[in-house]
Amino acid sequence: KLEGKHEADCLLCGEKLYIKDMRRYVGNHLLHNLREVEDRSLREGIEIGADPCGWCGLGGCKTQLTKKQVRNKLTAVIFSSCRYHYQKMVYSKAAVLTTTNNCSNVPMHCPTCPPGVNGQP
């Protein structure tokens, strides 16, 4: 996995960003797509599918949100196959909207999905 200060190109538009900022940036592209608002910054031929990854915006990545006890507190832990997954993201902070974090774009449990082998959704 890449470190937060590693620069990488957005796979949807080519903009160079720090990995730690990619999820929030890609969330803007995903929101445009979800609302069927034209996103002129997308590269030629790029289409966002029905189940895009929150980190890279493409399909095919697998992400799982689990909860575990850390210091007597239930904490969200995210596992992802995405190469842009920022492992040091703090879920509780990322899920809160602020003036600098105007897109939460965080993994969430699907209420219709069956539990995984570990018993968690």
Backbone angles phi, psi at 91, to 5 degrees: -55, -45
Range of the domain at 18: 7-94
In a domain, 1, yes or no: no
**Tally of domains within the chain:** 1
Q: Which amino acid is at 103?
A: C
Considering 65-74, 87-96, 100-109, 110-119, the range whose residues carry the highest mean pLDDT is 65-74
Q: Could you tell me the pTM of the whole model?
A: 0.78
**DSSP assignment string, the chain:** ---TT-EEE-TTT--EEEHHHHHHHHHHHHHHHHTT---TTSPTT----SS--TTTS-SS--EEEEEEEETTEEEEEEEE--TT--TT--HHHHTS--SS----------TTSPP-TTS--
pLDDT given at position 9: 98
**Does residue 83 sit within a domain?**
yes
Structure confidence by residue, pLDDT tens digits, 47-79: 999 999 999 999 999 988 888 888 888 888 888
118 located within any domain: no
56 part of a folded domain:
yes
Q: How many Cα atoms sit within 13 Å of 95 on the Cβ side?
A: 8
Tell me, yes or no, whether 113 lies in a domain. Answer: no
Does any domain span residue 65? Answer: yes
Give a yes or no: residue 109 inside a domain: no
99 located within any domain:
no
